[in-house]
Chain A
């Protein structure tokens, strides 16, 4: 029983790492652009499949394919922003929301068109789980958690040490004052897409490594990702990390009681409870 709880918690941390990476990007984008980016899950999907193309098409090792995929995903996100979202920014945020739902669909049909609807994997190789004090863990799962930690540290350094990172936080905090101190807000927006998309691509690849690739994978994880962002107080990237962990661990633990297919429902329930008691998130001011 205790061992099972620990085991599930460990799985929860793995899932939480993936969700967190998605939720950070979502939160950053929300902080800067003030709209919920519904295509975020599908950006994850695209990233995962770009890496697949690198692995199976070009025969690259997964890390090299990942770098390629990050480049591709970032390029795509910036392209979409500049051709579509940028032109809609002067209208209501909810128009951007609709546009992003459209992008979600466009991206998913592209993936389905190119790679087909069937599930795929990065490698057929069987993974031997390592055993540690009775806890089972696959090497890929270790890689996922380690990768997420590294990315979060890099993000933290970026946000607190670099000029662009600080400008980003400043703009999320107070857009008008950011303009007053001379920050080029359009440039910050582009940077936000770069970072949000890069993290989403990483999350997508990790999700593909942990389970398998499917054109709807990103759409199905979007709900937990949103739940994590809201739990952490949307717009707060650090909150999103905690939110992601809470959602991940709670989802895995719930499988002791409910069938695993209802994991997204658990995330949703957490979100609803949060919205009821403290809509500003775990670290926000109480209502």
Chain B
């Protein structure tokens, strides 16, 4: 592998880590912040991806398209659409038991999968949609995809910064209070369903953004890429491994788990005989499942536990305010 190949590989790898990082941040808004259980991540991811794909591609026979809109518009509409669908599901299930939300999200992801596969007029079915423009394509030559990485990185930084601000705002404190002891919050006169709905919609919209980034990164989307189980599950493992409730933990989890996932894929592709490749993939999936269970059993707080992080930060803030108070 020469230097150029290595660089291309690193760019490719980091772009995916970034996209998964955005997904993990989205899930962290829902699970980490408010304790909402979404296992339909793949569905919101797919909505973002397909929306942007359909809106930005050139005309093609057989399915809707030819809008040729700019990527920014595609991303934005994808965000809005996944947010809207989340709003509908949330309105139905958020005042019910937490398991119902989980089941409803599975259902919606499953239906989205069926639509992607079967509604050829809309999604071109299993053949997928190709020719999705890369960011700033045609402006300059970019054989390594580094522009793409920059776009992903920018999105990640914006989402991260916004979430960190939100988390420390009064809004974020209410969210965490909802997760910990809802009754106290309700007694304080806050409408918890409303707050939960906000966090569910926000998180799903972020997943939609990740979908759009993904579509423009690969330039091609097909139903296979949005297998409800694999995507959803990997994101969950990332968040739990990294430490839920903590945005830095979510990002760390995305990096670590994607390294393990892609690394083992690289190893098996390099060393396993071709006839064992599909088997090797199932072994990897098995091991990720096992990893999750081991984390739950031995280190449920993840690599970067929230509480420690919060107290350290709050301590710092308190000290700062002590100083400004002149103590």
Contacts and interface: CB of A to CB of B under 8 A. Distances in A.
B292 to A, nearest CB: 4
B118 A261 contact: yes
Interface string B264-282: 0000000000000011001
A105 B37 contact: no
A11 interface: no
Contacts of A206: none
Contacts, number: 119
A157 interface: no
Contacts of B296: 88, 95, 98-99, 102
A264 B290 contact: no
A264 B297 contact: no
B300 interface: yes
**How many of chain B's residues touch chain A, expressed as a range?**
35 or more
Interface stretch (A2-10, A50-58, A270-278): A270-278
Contacts of B288: 105
A208 B96 CA distance: 34
A193 interface: no
A79 B35 CA distance: 29
B29 to A, nearest CB: 16
B241 to A, nearest CB: 12
A84 B300 contact: no
B99 interface: yes
- Which among A38, A88, A272 has the highest number of chain B CB atoms within 10 Å? A272
Interface stretch (A110-118, A134-142, A166-174): A110-118
A103 interface: yes
Contacts of B297: 84, 87-88
B293 interface: yes
Contacts of A106: 286, 289-290, 293
Contact of A272 (B92, B102, B282, B289): B92
Interface stretch (A178-186, A196-204, A218-226): A218-226
A130 interface: no
A105 B106 contact: no
B114 A109 contact: no
A36 B99 contact: yes
B282 A113 contact: yes
Interface of A: 30, 35-36, 38, 84, 87-88, 91, 93-95, 97-99, 101-106, 108-110, 112-113, 116-117, 219-220, 222-223, 226-227, 230, 234, 259, 261-262, 264-265, 268, 271-272, 275-276, 279
9 A-B pairs closest in CB distance: A106-B289, A268-B107, A36-B99, A109-B286, A109-B282, A105-B289, A102-B292, A109-B285, A112-B282
